[in-house]
Amino acid sequence: MIYPGGKGKTYQQIINLIPPHDVYIETHLGGGSVIRHKRAARINIGIEKDIKVIQQWDKPLFKLLHDDAHNFLRTYEFNGSEFVYCDPPYLKSRRKKQRQGYYRYDYSFAEHQELLQLLLKIPCRVIISGYESDLYKEMLHDWNTHTFSSVCHKGTATEWLWMNYPFPLELHDYRYLGSNFRERERIKLKTRRWVRKLKNMPILERQALLHAAQTIKEF
C-alpha cells in the first residue's frame, strides 16, 4: 500500500530500535510498513483517521481502529507493556512538498504540539518519526534521537526518530539487524552458520554453550 510519508523503504531502521513488548500500537497507520514487517506482538493495534485507508486493509492479525490518534492516546488505559510508534504528518514548515492535500488529514502546528504533549504523558516506550524542527527539539529535549537518510520525491532527506528510552540492548525482532542491505545479509549468513554448528553439536555440548550465552546476557 503506497501512502504519503510511508516507511516502505526505511522500516528496518525503525524495527531495529524497538525493544520487546506485549502490545504494539501504531497511531497513524497509513500504509503500515512497520506493523506489517515487524514480528507481531501479542496484540497489534493500528489507528487511522481515514476510513478509506482502513478499508484497504485485510489483515486479521491486526486490530484496526477508525479513530483519531489524539483521542486514542487520551482514552487508552496504558499499563506499561505497550510500545507506541507514532508517524504523524510531518510539520508543513519542514516538508519539501508543502502543497495542500498532500495528506488527506494534515496537521496544524497546534495539533503537533498537542500530540507531543499526549505522548510525553503516556507510561510506555515510544518512537516518533519526523524531520528536525525547533518544536520537536524543544518538547522532546531529553529524548534520545537517531537519524538516517531516506529517499523522498525531491532527492534525499534526513529522517529523525525520537525515543523516550535508552538505545535497546534487546530487540523485539532481530530479522532486520544491520544498517544497510549488505550488513543485514552478513549478519543473516553468520547467524545461519552458527545455527548449523549448534545443530551438529552433541546435545550436552550445545546445552553448555547455550547456558554460557545466557550467562553473558545476564552479566
Mean pLDDT by 10-residue block, N- to C-terminus, for the chain (219 residues)?
Answer: 64 96 96 94 95 86 93 96 95 66 77 96 96 95 92 77 96 91 92 92 91 71
63 grid coordinates = 486490530
Mark whether 61 and 125 lie in a shared domain.
Answer: yes
Mark whether 191 and 121 lie in a shared domain.
Answer: no
Mark whether 45 and 95 lie in a shared domain.
Answer: yes
Residue 127: give its domain's CATH number.
3.40.50.150
147 grid coordinates = 537519524
- 45 within some domain: yes
- 89 within some domain: yes
Number of domains into which the chain is organized: 2
207 grid coordinates = 546445552
Residue 187: the pLDDT is: 92
Cell 483521542 belongs to residue? 71
Mark whether 127 and 214 lie in a shared domain.
Answer: no
Question: Angle at which helices 203-218 and 181-200 pack, to 10 degrees?
Answer: 130
Mark whether 152 and 190 lie in a shared domain.
Answer: no
Residues in the chain: 219
Mark whether 136 and 91 lie in a shared domain.
Answer: yes
Mark whether 149 and 187 lie in a shared domain.
Answer: no
Q: Cβ neighbours of residue 118 under 8 Å, at least 6 residues apart?
A: 70, 73, 74
Q: What is the span of the domain harbouring residue 214?
A: 181-218
Q: How far apart are CA 175 and CA 198, in angstroms?
A: 19
Mark whether 148 and 53 lie in a shared domain.
Answer: yes
The stretches of 46-202 forming alpha helices (DSSP H) are: 51-54, 69-75, 109-121, 134-139, 181-200
